[in-house]
């Protein structure tokens, strides 16, 4: 089990209510796990807690047991052991730039260089990551002059270049056009072949094809978890809007669960 939460709660500094409340969940190696729910459900917080950034960087208070790649990420020892093994992408790419690289190439090389990898290995991984994210042609550009879409790809390339064992991705396609988003989502199962991928997104329609497990949160509480096909077909998830658009419409039409979550399923259900 790569990441395991047992009754985990987290409070941001000064917040009266918990951002996540007694959440128990697990994310397995080789899988893409989707964390979803309405805005403010706690998906982003779940990622930060799994990385140990909450409470280490954000401040605040955590309760319950978290194990990330076998250690508690919020202890000093855990942080040291996880350094370079967990890749995090936040939805606002312009705040994700290191501020220390004056070209895209150097931005992508930032993490591997910090980790002290040797030169040949850095060149190799940076080359591969830039190609994978389709940003090789931007190599010499000043990262602060990129468009939102380009920037999000570059920042993701920087995460990929670190070759992490665990990817924590928060709305990684927010700035991308549909084609770009599609390509990024298709990449996730490939990354998951040699790592664990945790994806926080409200875009269930797109994530359905690539998620092997889903966790639905609502206002910080666990609503449902398990197999995406089952969860999204259930009233539990659909009532929170955490389902596909097809299922949402069918539910609005007043039909009973389990809801068909794909067009095919809807056709089978409604057409003789």
Partner 1 sequence: MTLRVDDVSFAYGTNSVLRGVSFAAEPGEAVALLGRNGAGKTTLTKLIVALLHPDAGEVWVGDWNTTGRTPEDMATRVAYVFQHTEQQLFARTVAEEVIFAPRQLGVSRRDAEGIVEEVLGLVGLALHRETHPYDLPPAERKLVSLAAALAQRPQLLVLDEPTQGLDRSHVLRVCEILRAQARKGVTVLAVTHDLTVVAEGFTRALVLDDGRVVVDEDVVRIVASEGRAAELGLSVPAGPALSRALDLPGFPIRMVEVARAMRSRFGVG
Partner 2 sequence: MIRYIQGNGILHRAHPFTPFTLAGAVVVLAFALPAPIGPLVLCSLMILLPVIEGVGVIVRTAGLLALPFWIFLFGIHGWLGGDPLTALKVAARLTSLIFVFLTVVVSVHPGRFVDALVARGVPFSLVYLLSATLQAVPRLGRRAETILDAQRCRGLRVRGSPLRRARALVPLALPLVLGSLAEVDERSVALEVRGAGSTARPTPLDPPPDTPYDRIARWGLAALVALALVLRIAL
The site for partner 1 (CB under 8 A) is made up of: 38-40, 91-92, 94, 147-150, 171, 174-181, 202, 205, 241, 244-246, 248-250, 252-256, 263, 266-267, 270-271
Is 205 in contact with 244 (CB distance < 8 Å)?
Answer: yes
Of 86 and 192, the one with the shorter C-beta distance to partner 2 is 86
Residue 118 binds which entry of partner 2, partner 1, none, CB below 5-8 Å type-dependent: partner 2
Residue 171 binds which entry of partner 2, partner 1, none, CB below 5-8 Å type-dependent: partner 1
Q: How far is the CB of 92 from partner 2 (least distance, A)?
A: 6
Is 216 in contact with 36 (CB distance < 8 Å)?
Answer: yes
Q: How far is the CB of 100 from partner 2 (least distance, A)?
A: 5
Residue 148 binds which entry of partner 1, partner 2, none, CB below 5-8 Å type-dependent: partner 1
Is 208 in contact with 233 (CB distance < 8 Å)?
Answer: no
Contacts with partner 2, residue ranges (CB under 8 A):
48, 51, 53, 56-58, 80, 83-84, 86-88, 90, 92, 95-103, 106, 109-119, 122, 144, 158-159, 162
How far apart, in whole angstroms, are the C-alpha atoms of residue 232 and residue 58? 32
Residue 3 tokens read as: 């990441």
3-state secondary structure of 194: coil
Q: How far is the CB of 110 from partner 2 (least distance, A)?
A: 6
Residue 253 binds which entry of partner 2, partner 1, none, CB below 5-8 Å type-dependent: partner 1
The separation between CA 114 and the C-alpha centre of its own chain, rounded to angstroms, equals 23
Residue 111 binds which entry of partner 2, partner 1, none, CB below 5-8 Å type-dependent: partner 2
Q: Which residues pair with 213 in a beta bridge?
A: 33
How far apart, in whole angstroms, are the C-alpha atoms of residue 85 and residue 68? 10
| All residues at 6 or more sequence positions from 167 whose CB lies less than 8 Å from its CB, including other chains | 87, 89, 159, 188, 191, 195, 196, 197, 198
Of 35 and 238, the one with the shorter C-beta distance to partner 2 is 35
Is 66 in contact with 233 (CB distance < 8 Å)?
Answer: no
Q: How far is the CB of 176 from partner 1 (least distance, A)?
A: 7
Q: How far is the CB of 5 from partner 2 (least distance, A)?
A: 19
Residue 80 binds which entry of partner 1, partner 2, none, CB below 5-8 Å type-dependent: partner 2
**How many CA within 13 A on the CB side of residue 148?**
9
How far apart, in whole angstroms, are the C-alpha atoms of residue 22 and residue 9? 5
Residue 231 tokens read as: 């969860």
């Amino acid at each position: 089990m790569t990441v395991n939460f047992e009754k985990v709660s987290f409070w941001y500094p000064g917040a009266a209510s918990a951002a996540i409340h007694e959440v128990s969940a697990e994310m397995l190696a080789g899988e893409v796990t989707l964390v979803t729910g309405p805005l403010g459900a706690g998906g982003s917080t779940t990622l930060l807690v799994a990385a140990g950034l909450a409470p280490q960087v954000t401040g605040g208070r955590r309760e319950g047991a978290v194990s990330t790649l076998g250690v508690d990420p919020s202890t000093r020892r855990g942080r040291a052991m996880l350094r370079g093994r967990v890749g995090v992408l936040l939805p606002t790419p312009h705040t994700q730039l290191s501020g220390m690289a004056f070209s895209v190439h150097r931005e992508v090389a930032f993490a591997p260089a910090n980790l002290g990898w040797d030169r040949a290995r850095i060149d190799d991984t940076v080359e591969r990551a830039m190609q994978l994210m389709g940003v090789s042609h931007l190599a010499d550009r000043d990262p602060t002059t990129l468009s939102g879409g380009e920037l999000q790809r570059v920042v993701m390339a920087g995460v990929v270049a670190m070759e992490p064992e665990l990817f924590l991705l928060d709305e990684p396609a927010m700035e991308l056009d549909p084609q770009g988003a599609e390509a990024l989502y298709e990449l996730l199962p490939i990354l998951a072949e040699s790592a664990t991928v945790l994806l926080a997104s409200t875009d269930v329609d797109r994530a359905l094809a690539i998620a092997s497990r889903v966790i639905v949160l609502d206002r910080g509480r666990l609503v449902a978890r398990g197999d995406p096909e089952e969860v999204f077909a259930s009233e539990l998830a659909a009532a929170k809007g955490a389902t596909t658009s097809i299922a949402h419409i069918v539910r609005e039409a007043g039909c009973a669960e389990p809801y068909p979550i794909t067009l095919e399923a809807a056709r089978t259900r409604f057409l003789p």
